[in-house]
Structure 1
């Protein structure tokens, strides 16, 4: 491991020579080591996954913290935990590693796919026209639709090049464009009393438990007036668990109208929610240079929505 010790030691010396050179001393191996520790909450397990020794990972992590001038990992407890600075740095490190891997993927350079993330309902009723239209116009650039259970559908972590999102998004470093607005629907148990109603109102759901997807969903108790918030809430982590809980009669839910078409469920009935505000559907990208076909994607998405509005 003498090579790794020398590299870390040299990097540490250059970091001390001036703040302007600090970030140039950071290498991709520092970020990989940090991300492995963050994922495993253990230097030992991280080292095993990286096929390195525990001391080598410890030195690499310490060198990264020294370069940044920040403590990223709290080692004061029996189980490692990220510091607040470590939590904030994790997404940036993941995005940097993803960008590096994409840039050095020789196969991908020959056929560079455009990765489009979504959290649950993609482009709604426009999803198929988008995929077919893209294939016809840009056959050399595959459009990969990826469902990622995350508020930005993996965009802030660098897992996708663009994302279709719903509702307001306040993540820093993103540029968003509203493509259209969707009505909201109530999701209720198919064998429950509310399923017999043609339409529903927010007050109809507030008397019972409302199921909330707190990871990628857009519904919060603030959708209801302060004096008429739901009697109880049940939190889940993804759309599949949301549907399962509603079908089991554990509560009701609120979602965009496209969810009814994209996620039909034998145990769930969708009903128009007549007094809920419409939900904006956004196309989001990072505020930085990205895939060269991003502008083409935005133009095609706008064209499809405009064509539908004119019919």
Structure 2
């Protein structure tokens, strides 16, 4: 795609090349590597970065270390730049003239047992708008980056610029190796888990050590960055994990056992989308998700 789209702000014209340049710097963590990736000279890319920072009137990149780090403002601009590029690419994709897919992201477990009924009902009621279900290992399942139009998320959603709709709540479950001593218990407590290492998904998980009192926390934590790594660590007997009631139907394995967690609060499940203009079918998705959950008889009310 040619970088010929321009947005004029004050005395500077922002072009797609500025966004691509900044994102390359953010991903590479190094101006020289980013310049090579973009087939530009290092001085030219450095000038582009300065132009962007002058436009915003603030530093977007911390240059105090060899490996460049984004400032808080830089991280915000990175997410907005990703969303803007994704929107432009979607708008200019010739395939989009025939149909405009609604991209629904999730970091794990989607809508649990309601996932398949949702997809089937959507295909029946909205045949002209494909619903694409995408798993993306990210706190907002790619929503803030523009990779999806809406996302199914669990736990508190703190990202700015998002609207959310509470769908339901899910009870927590403990995930453990089938040969774990905890598997003999009908229900497990947080105190029962304190003698075991805990697998924590630091990217999209809903479990932190703050669930336990400071004086009664588990002996160790194994940090992973996605659901696959989390499941492997547990199946290998290296740790136990805490998830929600949606996980057993999506991640069954003969090496894993699931038990209810008796003394932890339920987890809210929300549908999130970006504020402002978005995919026109999002209101239809919100309505249909509620209908599917109600028809399936969710364990907890959504409102």
- Same fold? TM cut 0.5: yes
Q: Does 1:137 align with 2:125?
A: yes
Q: What SS does the aligned partner of 2:264 have?
A: coil
8 Å Cα contact 2:168-2:298 kept in structure 1 = no
Q: What SS does the aligned partner of 1:180 have?
A: strand
In structure 2, the residue matched to 1:181 is 169
Q: Which has the higher helix share?
A: 1
The TM-score normalised by the length of structure 1 is 0.88
Q: Which moved more, 1:60-69 or 1:298-307?
A: 60-69
In structure 1, the residue matched to 2:297 is 309
- Matched residues in 1 for 2:288 and 2:68: separation? 46
- Matched residues in 2 for 1:84 and 1:287: separation? 21
Q: What SS does the aligned partner of 1:25 have?
A: strand
In structure 2, the residue matched to 1:21 is 10
Q: What SS does the aligned partner of 2:297 have?
A: helix
Deviations 1:94-143 (A, max 9, x none): 11111121122222232111000001100000000011111111111111
Q: Does 1:126 align with 2:109?
A: no
The alpha carbon displacement at 1:76 in A equals: 4.1
Residue 107 of structure 1, aligned match among 95, 108, 111:
95
Deviations 1:22-70 (A, max 9, x none): 5x62221101100011111222322232233333322222211121222
Residue 162 of structure 1, aligned match among 150, 154, 157:
150
Which structure 1 segments of 5+ residues have no match?
none
Deviations 1:71-110 (A, max 9, x none): 2223344333323332232111111111121122222232
The alpha carbon displacement at 1:265 in A equals: 2.3
Q: What SS does the aligned partner of 2:165 have?
A: strand
In structure 1, the residue matched to 2:265 is 277
The alpha carbon displacement at 1:260 in A equals: 0.9
8 Å Cα contact 1:25-1:67 kept in structure 2 = no
Q: What SS does the aligned partner of 1:153 have?
A: coil
- Residues 1:78 and 1:276: Cα distance change in structure 2 (over 3 Å): closer
In structure 2, the residue matched to 1:75 is 63
Q: What SS does the aligned partner of 2:269 have?
A: strand
Q: Does 1:234 align with 2:222?
A: yes
Q: How does 1:206-221 map to 2 (within 5 A)?
A: 206-221=194-209
Q: Which moved more, 1:281-290 or 1:221-230?
A: 221-230
Residue 287 of structure 2, aligned match among 299, 306, 310:
299
In structure 2, the residue matched to 1:86 is 74
- Matched residues in 1 for 2:152 and 2:55: separation? 36
Q: What SS does the aligned partner of 1:179 have?
A: strand
8 Å Cα contact 1:99-1:158 kept in structure 2 = yes
Bigger radius of gyration: 1
The alpha carbon displacement at 1:200 in A equals: 1.3
The TM-score normalised by the length of structure 2 is 0.91
8 Å Cα contact 1:102-1:108 kept in structure 2 = yes
In structure 1, the residue matched to 2:274 is 286
In structure 2, the residue matched to 1:95 is 83
- Matched residues in 1 for 2:15 and 2:125: separation? 39
8 Å Cα contact 1:42-1:80 kept in structure 2 = yes
- Matched residues in 2 for 1:193 and 1:310: separation? 31
8 Å Cα contact 2:174-2:242 kept in structure 1 = yes
**CA RMSD across the alignment:** 2.2
